[in-house]
């Protein structure tokens, strides 16, 4: 995490995203900061509604401006995005920054051929001719491992299998060699065997293009194999960050412990129940005061409940967790109580 004068390639600073709904204001993202350099992969994990997808839609400027208020700063390669005009964002989207969506069935238009959908952003951003864009689409399909790309380029998405659709989606996102690639749960809708292939493909393509990747997921297994850095989000806030190795080896936030404990593992006995995190994610209409995790946290007594309820813990830059327990106490708790359970 860079704190010196030159900002990171992607730098998000104190981002707040609020939606106006009939029931009130939803604080979907509440003071989020992170950095990402080229060639690195940042995993963002958290439960549904933790603000991970919203954050990334905001980076691309795909939120609905009628209902959404965005404050804070997003710098991409030195350019500020939250206040950038729509024309600028249009020029960047699909070109400098691209996104892969979760469900390739609904995320591709059923009405146009795969080839056309891949060629479209290429033509728009490079001014290539129809013929060149088509050749480029074939080339991209080949690159993402679609057999017979010359024939398949004229297929419609419904003629593709789920895994092939996600490959096509990736081809579409990478057609203009973006510097930033955001993958929002890219493997959730796929078979387990296909998941691994897609993740490998992403890694290979990153090697080739040197893009920065944000990988949004709720699956720590996916992150462990693919990401360099990790950001754990809860209730619109980052609660823990570090390299993947650091966070998975020695997690410092009780919420991360919960995520790890709730994962099924092969080594556990068949009849051993999973240990889910008690309670439900808080309502973002009225998030709990203090630490947003305190109503579900089993360790508030360690610091005296008052502090957790009243004071919002801050997340330091670099390796750290937003928790009142403090680094030393969490380390001891993890090694003594949590680690033995994880086996």
Residues lying near another protein in the complex (CB under 8 A) are found at: 60, 62, 66, 86, 90-95, 98-99, 101, 103, 106-112, 120-121, 124-125, 156, 158, 169, 172
Whole-angstrom distance, CA of residue 152 vs CA of residue 146: 8
Q: Shortest CA distance to 233 belongs to which of 17, 22, 53, 7?
A: 53
Q: Quick one: CA dihedral 198, 178, 182, 11, positive or negative?
A: positive
Q: How far is the CB of 113 from another protein (least distance, A)?
A: 8
Q: How far is the CB of 87 from another protein (least distance, A)?
A: 8
Burial class (CB in 10 A: 0-12, 13-18, 19+), 1: middle
Whole-angstrom distance, CA of residue 141 vs CA of residue 164: 9
Q: Which residues contact 200 (CB under 8 A, 6 or more apart)?
A: none
Whole-angstrom distance, CA of residue 99 vs CA of residue 105: 15
Q: How far is the CB of 123 from another protein (least distance, A)?
A: 10
| CB nearer to another protein: pick between 37 and 120 | 120
| CB nearer to another protein: pick between 176 and 199 | 176
Whole-angstrom distance, CA of residue 180 vs CA of residue 37: 9
Q: How far is the CB of 196 from another protein (least distance, A)?
A: 24
Q: How far is the CB of 34 from another protein (least distance, A)?
A: 20
Q: Shortest CA distance to 228 belongs to which of 60, 1, 25?
A: 1
| CB nearer to another protein: pick between 120 and 219 | 120
| CB nearer to another protein: pick between 64 and 336 | 64
| CB nearer to another protein: pick between 85 and 343 | 85
Q: How far is the CB of 165 from another protein (least distance, A)?
A: 11
Q: How far is the CB of 319 from another protein (least distance, A)?
A: 32
| CB nearer to another protein: pick between 121 and 236 | 121
Whole-angstrom distance, CA of residue 227 vs CA of residue 230: 7
| CB nearer to another protein: pick between 65 and 343 | 65
The residue written with tokens 């960050």 in the block is 241
Residue 98 bridge partners (DSSP): 181
Burial class (CB in 10 A: 0-12, 13-18, 19+), 67: exposed
């Amino acid at each position: 995490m860079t704190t010196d004068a030159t900002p990171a390639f992607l730098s998000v600073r104190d981002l707040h995203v609020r939606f106006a709904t009939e029931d009130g204001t939803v604080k979907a993202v509440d003071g989020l900061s992170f950095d990402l350099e080229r060639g690195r992969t940042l995993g963002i994990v958290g439960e549904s509604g933790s603000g991970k997808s919203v954050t990334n839609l905001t980076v691309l400027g795909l939120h609905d401006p009628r209902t959404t208020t965005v404050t804070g700063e997003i710098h991409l390669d030195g350019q500020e995005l939250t206040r950038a005009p729509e024309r600028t964002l249009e020029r960047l989207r699909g070109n400098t920054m691209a996104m892969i969506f979760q469900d390739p069935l609904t995320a591709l238009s059923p009405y146009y051929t795969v080839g056309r959908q891949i060629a479209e952003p290429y033509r728009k951003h490079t001014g290539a001719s129809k013929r060149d864009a088509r050749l480029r689409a074939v080339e991209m399909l080949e690159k993402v491992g679609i057999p017979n790309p010359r024939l398949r380029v004229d297929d419609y998405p419904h003629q593709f299998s789920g895994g092939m659709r996600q490959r096509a989606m990736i081809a579409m996102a990478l057609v203009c060699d973006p510097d930033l690639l955001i993958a929002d749960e890219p493997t959730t809708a796929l078979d387990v065997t296909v998941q691994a292939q897609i993740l490998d493909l992403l890694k290979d393509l990153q090697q080739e293009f040197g893009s920065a990747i944000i990988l949004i997921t709720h699956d720590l297994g996916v992150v462990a194999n693919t990401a360099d850095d990790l950001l754990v989000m809860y209730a619109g806030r980052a609660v823990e960050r570090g390299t993947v190795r650091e966070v998975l080896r020695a997690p410092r936030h009780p919420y991360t412990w919960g995520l790890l404990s709730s994962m099924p593992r092969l080594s556990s006995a068949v009849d051993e129940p999973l240990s889910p995190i008690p309670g439900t994610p808080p309502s973002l209409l009225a998030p709990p005061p203090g630490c947003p995790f305190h109503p579900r946290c089993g360790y508030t007594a360690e610091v005296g409940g008052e502090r957790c309820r009243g004071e919002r813990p801050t997340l330091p830059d670099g390796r750290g967790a937003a928790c009142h327990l403090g680094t030393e106490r969490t380390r001891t708790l993890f090694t003594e109580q949590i680690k033995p359970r994880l086996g």
